[in-house]
Structure 1
Amino acid sequence: MALSESPIPILDSPTTDVATNAPLIDQSKEALKDISFGSIAGIVGKYIEYPFDTVKVRLQSQPDHVPLKYKGPVDCFKQSLSRDGFLGLYRGISAPLFGAAVETSSLFFSYRIAQGAFQSTFLQPGQTLPFSALLLCGGASGAFTSILLTPIELIKCKMQVPADNSGKQPRLSIPQQMASVYRHQGILGFWRGQMGTFIRETGGSAAWFGSYEGVGLLLKQASSDPTGNQSLPVWQQMMAGAAAGMSYNFMFYPADTIKSRMQTEDVSKMRDGKQSFGAVGKILWRQQGLRGLYRGCGITVARSAPSSAFIFTIYETLRSHFG
């Protein structure tokens, strides 16, 4: 995929003929494709990565006291299997599946919208977007998606943290978790951790789309297609998608760690107000240093490679067959 091109069709510029509504219909069809294909790709990707994501959240949300409950990803995985069984790693997956559909479809949809806006505002008809513009469009898509994603991730993180073994705090269902958040913090409580999600999604999405475009360009240049107009074979799409997933998760991982810590706090025990994103970050840095901010990063980057590879490949395949 050439850096001056996009894997997603750019919206057509509005026609000057006000008598026709064809551009509006075309844009509506493209939006429906983004939402449908992105949702399917996101759900498949979530099934692949969810057990690893559960381990990541449990590592990130460990209490402050030492020694830590888990020695690392492998120990956390073993303890989780012993305590809850394999299906326990999929606990609370209904909210993440919905979240994955919302996140992925929103990313692809808003990425295409941002490209169309940039194209019509700054470029002449027929010009292609430079790589720097694609990075900005990726960041804009992530910023928009973060607003939709934070409430879903809040409930997901609370469901993934194991219940108190003492039995004093029974497991809560998804509706009960939602009711608890609303009762103690009101409607804005669902956006606790929004700053972390915003930083992760804005920077991460720029890296996600940018890495996919960049690796695609390198593969195009190494192929026998000098024009770069032919589609990448499936294995190369998966390679570019894997690189995108690893870039997305590694570069802004500390923001996700702070977000997870904020979202897994017991809302019923917050008597003196909520700590800000910066305050929680300072506490983690003081207690555990940089290593603490990257706890669980290895398993997250590892699981993101196949997940992101399938997401891009499924989306591109559906686009090529039904687009």
Structure 2
Amino acid sequence: MGDVLEPLAAAKDGHAVTAVKDIAYGSFAGMVGKFIEYPFDTVKVRLQTQSNFKGPLDCFTQGLRNDGITGLYRGIAPPLVGAAAENAGLFFSYTISQNVLRKLAYSNYDPNEKLPMPALLGCGAVSGAFCSLILTPIELIKCKMQVQAVSHESAATTAASARASATGYTPALGRAYTTATLQRPRYAGPIALISEVIKVHGISGMWHGQMGTFLRETGGSAVWFGSYEYVSLTFRQLGANAAGIPKEVNTAGEMMVAGACAGVCYNGVLFPADTIKSRMQTAAVGSVGHKQMGFWDTGVDIYRSAGVRGLYRGCGITVIRAAPASAVIFLVYETLKANF
């Protein structure tokens, strides 16, 4: 009996060690990637939620000139924690999903052999759905911190503010917001902002924009992992030996190229969902009883104000920053996993 149980115990121990490694390596890789991409993310959020910048370069130079380099990193604490939690959760749940799927549908597969691409896409979607619950409150605080220094002054804005005060309803930003100036940030830090959100909207207010995060992460994570696996496999096949057997390990450069492709694909899929989420999450906190716009209403409002282009505003710079960030994330994760 002991001989039978020993392999099972060893397998469980092996899964536990793998899980701990996924969490640790994913956390570290996510934090490194976040430092690289955060200034670009700040520009992206401002472009998604403000209509008065001419483009990414104009938004970047205005922010740098008026708010300094620290302004581009404002609010990084929550997303830094979020990046660690997100990537730890992504890699952890991705591995767990594959283990479960192997037992349920692919028990005849070699443990060292990759699952078919449709299965990997499904595992990626599951990992994204899981992580969306972790990310929404973190991104809510991040987005509000990123845009709190931008104020909009115009007659139309004043009128809109008056209507909002009278009705307790704040519309999404549209064409009425024509000029932008920088003001002193309202919140001293994320803790003060979290306190106000919970005070006004309750704990559920921290998950405002969950639908957008869920759609973005589910579809995005499927193609993130899927494209990385596909490009990595392609490189291994290109490096096959004379007998046609693919090489077993990718080089660091190949990992980075595959990671960069993954980042571009992730952000190119369902970008409008991220735009809607950002618009929802950067709306004013308001006062007790304040009505927040839902996902569908916010999307319709953006479309009516700026058309399809409004839903893709900031997509270019998002793709640009995603390539190096994802390249580094996968390189760090794979390197740590192979050597420790």
Q: TM-score, normalised by structure 2?
A: 0.85
Letter in 2 for 1:83: N
Report which of the two structures shows the higher radius of gyration computed on alpha carbons: 2
The alpha-carbon distance between structure 1 residues 230 and 19, as it changes in their structure 2 partners (threshold 3 A), is closer
Give, in angstroms, the shift of residue 275 of structure 1: 1.7
Letter in 1 for 2:124: G
What does residue 97 of structure 1 align with?
A: 80
Higher mean Cα deviation, 273-282 or 114-123?
273-282
Q: Work out which of the residue numbers 287, 290, 300 in structure 1 matches 2:305.
A: 287
CA–CA distance in structure 2, aligned partners of residues 167 and 244 of structure 1: 37
* 1:105-120 alignment, distance < 5 Å: 105-120=88-103
Question: Given the alignment of the two structures, is residue 37 of structure 1 paired with residue 28 of structure 2, yes or no?
Answer: no
CA–CA distance in structure 2, aligned partners of residues 152 and 310 of structure 1: 22
Question: Given the alignment of the two structures, is residue 132 of structure 1 paired with residue 132 of structure 2, yes or no?
Answer: no
CA–CA distance in structure 2, aligned partners of residues 41 and 96 of structure 1: 13
CA–CA distance in structure 1, aligned partners of residues 29 and 295 of structure 2: 31
Give, in angstroms, the shift of residue 16 of structure 1: 6.3
Higher mean Cα deviation, 256-265 or 218-227?
218-227
Give, in angstroms, the shift of residue 124 of structure 1: 2.5
The alpha-carbon distance between structure 1 residues 197 and 308, as it changes in their structure 2 partners (threshold 3 A), is same
What does residue 291 of structure 2 align with?
A: 273
Give CA deviations for 1:89-135 in whole Å, capped at 9, x if unaligned.
01111111100000011100000000011110012233452110000
What does residue 7 of structure 1 align with?
A: none
Q: Contact conserved, 2:128 with 2:222, CA < 8 A, in 1?
A: yes
Give, in angstroms, the shift of residue 217 of structure 1: 1.9
The alpha-carbon distance between structure 1 residues 295 and 150, as it changes in their structure 2 partners (threshold 3 A), is same
Question: Given the alignment of the two structures, is residue 178 of structure 1 paired with residue 194 of structure 2, yes or no?
Answer: yes
Q: Work out which of the residue numbers 73, 76, 80 in structure 1 matches 2:59.
A: 76
Give, in angstroms, the shift of residue 188 of structure 1: 0.4
Letter in 2 for 1:24: K
The alpha-carbon distance between structure 1 residues 135 and 43, as it changes in their structure 2 partners (threshold 3 A), is same
Letter in 2 for 1:160: Q
What does residue 234 of structure 2 align with?
A: 218
Give, in angstroms, the shift of residue 138 of structure 1: 0.4
Q: Work out which of the residue numbers 46, 55, 60 in structure 2 matches 1:58.
A: 46
The alpha-carbon distance between structure 1 residues 69 and 162, as it changes in their structure 2 partners (threshold 3 A), is farther
Give, in angstroms, the shift of residue 224 of structure 1: 3.1
Letter in 1 for 2:20: L
The alpha-carbon distance between structure 1 residues 295 and 167, as it changes in their structure 2 partners (threshold 3 A), is closer
Q: Work out which of the residue numbers 242, 250, 253 in structure 2 matches 1:235.
A: 253
What does residue 175 of structure 2 align with?
A: none
Give CA deviations for 1:224-247 in whole Å, capped at 9, x if unaligned.
343334211111110000000000
CA–CA distance in structure 1, aligned partners of residues 327 and 279 of structure 2: 28
Corresponding residue SS for 2:248:
coil
The alpha-carbon distance between structure 1 residues 79 and 269, as it changes in their structure 2 partners (threshold 3 A), is farther
Q: Work out which of the residue numbers 259, 279, 287 in structure 2 matches 1:261.
A: 279
Q: Work out which of the residue numbers 111, 121, 126 in structure 1 matches 2:104.
A: 121
What does residue 201 of structure 1 align with?
A: 217
Give, in angstroms, the shift of residue 20 of structure 1: 5.8
The alpha-carbon distance between structure 1 residues 270 and 279, as it changes in their structure 2 partners (threshold 3 A), is farther
The alpha-carbon distance between structure 1 residues 116 and 180, as it changes in their structure 2 partners (threshold 3 A), is same
Question: Given the alignment of the two structures, is residue 158 of structure 1 paired with residue 141 of structure 2, yes or no?
Answer: no
The alpha-carbon distance between structure 1 residues 249 and 235, as it changes in their structure 2 partners (threshold 3 A), is same
> Which stretches of structure 1, 4 residues or longer, exceed 4 Å deviation after superposition?
165-169, 269-272
Q: CA RMSD in A?
A: 1.9
What does residue 191 of structure 1 align with?
A: 207
Unaligned runs of 5+ in 2: 152-180
Give, in angstroms, the shift of residue 33 of structure 1: 0.2
Corresponding residue SS for 1:139:
helix
How many residue pairs were aligned? Answer: 303
Unaligned runs of 5+ in 1: 1-14, 63-67
Give, in angstroms, the shift of residue 23 of structure 1: 2.6
Q: Contact conserved, 2:263 with 2:322, CA < 8 A, in 1?
A: yes
